Amino acid sequence: LACWVVGAALGISVRLCPQGSYSTASGQTQCLDCPMGSSTVGTGSTASSDCLVPVETLSLNGVSGDEVAVTVAEPADGYAYFLRVMSACGDSAATASVASASNDTNFLIDLADLPGGTYQICWCVGVPPRTCELQGEFGINVGSIAVAGPTVGTEQTCVRDVVCALTISGLGLAAGDEVIVAAECGASTAVANGTLASAASSWQVDLSVADVAPGLHSLCWCRGACTARTAAGTVRQNPATHAICI
């Protein structure tokens, strides 16, 4: 049985490695922590393989703005499993989406706030004192999810009363995807709308017929006919009489 040994004034104190750690040989002076996000079932573990991690590797596909259901194995007694979709497992500053659990094995991943791209599916087992509330606790990569949708952050400039070419970049964009210019994404009223002509991500917006006031507007994307639209960038409209599209 693996344990760690502590010298004492009147003798030797022998203790088992606590839950969440292990020792590969008897008599070692310290235990080794399991990788962040995993744990052992009990005390006295003797190998890194005792650290509890899920056995399945997940490979999922989804669409930005939608939800994805996922089922995992039944957790060991007394444990709770948690999932997050993150740009990098274990990174406390990573882009992330929390997966809500309807029971011990079924999760629903909300992709509403995730731009298009490929993300890691990160796992944490809740064993006191770990609560799996901090992103840094999700250190185990159990798969990946490809999220179809636009990337975010590009500002493009158009001029009122002319046709302006807007470009959207992302993952898995397709001809027929809906694009709108609106005060904010998710709003019911668009000031200009249309569809992508092809997967090349180009869209011609005719501002000569759209009542778009000068200023900064949201460029929003959606797969098919839907109302929950994902931000794809911003459009700044200038009141000048010549067109500058970047």
Q: How do the residues of the chain divide into helix, strand and coil, expressed in percent and rounded to 5? A: 0, 45, 50
Tens of pLDDT along the chain (246 residues)? 444 444 444 455 667 888 778 888 766 678 888 877 677 867 888 888 888 776 678 899 998 888 899 887 777 666 778 888 999 988 887 777 888 876 778 888 888 778 889 999 988 877 766 678 888 888 888 899 999 888 876 677 877 777 777 777 888 888 778 777 777 777 666 777 777 766 556 666 666 555 667 778 787 888 766 655 666 655 655 443 322 222
Q: Euclidean distance between the first and final Cα of the chain, in Å?
A: 67
Q: How many CA atoms lie within 13 A of 58 on its CB side?
A: 29
Q: Of 162, 171, 138, whose CA–CA distance to 54 is shortest?
A: 138
| The pTM of the whole model exceeds 0.85 | no
Helix (H, G, I), strand (E, B) or coil at 52: strand
The half-sphere exposure of 56 on its side-chain side, counting CA atoms within 13 A, is 11
pLDDT of residue 245: 25
CB 83 within 8 A of CB 89: no
pLDDT on residue 99: 80
Q: How many CB atoms lie within 10 A of CB 59?
A: 10
Residue 61, pLDDT score: 94
Residue with tokens 């200038």: 238
Taking alpha carbons only, the member of 150, 120, 148 closest to residue 135 is 120
**Burial profile 11-20: b = 16 or more Cβ within 10 angstroms, e = fewer:** eeeeebbebb
Separation of alpha carbons 42 and 24, rounded Å: 15
Q: Which residues of 28-50 are buried (b: 16+ CB within 10 A; e: fewer)?
A: eeebbebebbbbbeebbbbeeeb
Q: For position 158, what pLDDT does the model report? A: 78
Partners of 167 in the beta sheet? 202
DSSP 122-165: EEEEE-TT--S-SGGG--EEEEEEEEEEE----EEEEETTSEEE
Which residue type does 233 have?
Answer: G
